A and B are shown apart, each in its own frame.
Chain A
Amino acid sequence: MYLIDTVPCPVLVTDVDGVILAMNGHALQVTGGSAESRVGQPLDRLMPLPSRLFLQTHVWPMLLKDGSVREIYLQLLDADRQLVPALVNCERHRDGGAECWVWVFFVARQRSRFEAELLAARTRADEATAAVAKREHFLKTVTDAVPGLVGYWDRELCCRFANRGYLEWFGRPHGQVIGAELKDLMDERTLRFSQPYIDAVLQGRPQRFERSQPMADGRQTFALVNYMPDIGADGGVLGFFVLVIDITSLKEAEGQLKLAASIVEHTVDAIMVTDEADLILSVNPAFTAVTGYSAAEVVGRHASLLHAGRRDDDLQAERRRALARQGHWKGEAWKRQRDGNVFLVSEDVTAIGAAPGAPGRRVSVFSDVTEHWRNNERLRHLAFHDPLTGLPNRMLLLERLGHLIDQADRESRNAAIAFLDLDRFKWVNDTLGHAMGDLLLKAVAKDLQALVRHSDTVARLGGDEFVVLLDNVAGRDEVETVARRIVAAVGQDRVVDGHAVQVGASLGIAMFPQDGRDREQLMVHADRALYAVKSAARNGYRFFDELSDSRMNGLPVVGSE
Chain B
Amino acid sequence: MGLICHRGGAEVTINRRNNTRMLGSQGPVLLFAHGFGCNQKMWDAVTPAFEDSHRQILFDYVGSGQSDLAAFDPQRYGSLSGYAQDVLDVCDAYGLTSGVTFVGHSVSCSVGLLASIARPELFERLVLVGPSPCFLNDPPHYNGGFEREDLEGLLSLMDQNYIGWAQYLAPVVAGADGAGRTAGELSDSFCSTEPGIARVFARATVFADNRADLAHVTRPCLILQHRNDALAPLHVGEYLHAHLRGSTLRVLPVVGHCSHMTHPQLVVDAMRPFVDGEQRCP
Contacts and interface: CB of A to CB of B under 8 A. Distances in A.
A77 interface: no
Contacts of A54: 154, 157-158, 161
Contacts of B257: 56-57, 60
A537 B146 CA distance: 140
A126 B179 contact: yes
Contact of B164 (A17, A71, A75, A116): A71
Given A18-B255, A53-B150, A58 B36 contact: yes
B277 interface: no
A50 B154 contact: yes
Given A17-B255, A126-B179, A129-B178, A64 B146 contact: no
A535 to B, nearest CB: 115
A494 interface: no
Interface string B203-238: 000000000000000000000000001110000000
A308 B257 CA distance: 99
B196 interface: yes
A133 interface: yes
Given A17-B256, A65-B41, A122-B168, A116 B160 contact: yes
Contact of B106 (A44, A57, A130): A57
Contact of A64 (B37, B229, B261): B261
Interface in A1-38: 16-19
A115 interface: yes
Nearest to A49: B150
Contact of A119 (B150, B163, B256): B163
A125 B179 contact: yes
B172 A50 contact: no
Interface residues of B, number: 46
Contacts of B153: 48-51, 53
Interface string B41-55: 110100000000000
Interface residues of A, number: 45
Contacts of B158: 54, 58
Contacts of B172: 118, 121-122, 125
Contacts of B38: 58, 61-62, 65
A128 B196 CA distance: 13
Contacts of A61: 35-38, 42, 191, 258, 261
Given A61-B37, A118-B172, A129-B179, A53 B231 contact: yes
A137 B75 contact: yes
A58 B262 contact: no
B164 A56 contact: no
Interface string B156-200: 111111011000110111000111000000001111000010000
Is chain A's interface secondary structure helix, strand, loop, or mixed overall? Answer: helix
Interface string A69-109: 11111110000000000000000000000000000000000
Given A57-B106, A126-B179, A128-B177, A49 B42 contact: no
B74 interface: yes
Contacts of B151: 50, 53
A122 B163 contact: yes
B161 A58 contact: yes
Contacts of A123: 159
Contacts of A60: 256-258, 261-262
B190 A62 contact: yes
B256 A56 contact: yes
B11 to A, nearest CB: 22
B141 to A, nearest CB: 21
A73 B173 contact: no
A16 B266 CA distance: 15
A316 B168 CA distance: 87
A53 B173 CA distance: 30
7 closest A-B pairs by beta carbon, nearest first, are: A50-B153, A17-B255, A64-B261, A57-B36, A56-B257, A53-B154, A54-B157
Interface of A: 16-19, 42, 44, 48-58, 60-62, 64-66, 69-75, 112, 115-116, 118-119, 121-123, 125-126, 128-130, 133, 137
23 contacts: A18-B256, A50-B151, A54-B158, A58-B190, A60-B258, A60-B261, A61-B35, A61-B37, A61-B191, A64-B258, A65-B44, A72-B161, A73-B160, A73-B164, A74-B157, A112-B160, A119-B160, A121-B172, A125-B177, A125-B179, A129-B177, A129-B178, A129-B179
Given A50-B156, A122-B163, A122-B171, 7 more contacts: A53-B146, A53-B153, A54-B158, A55-B230, A56-B256, A58-B190, A61-B42
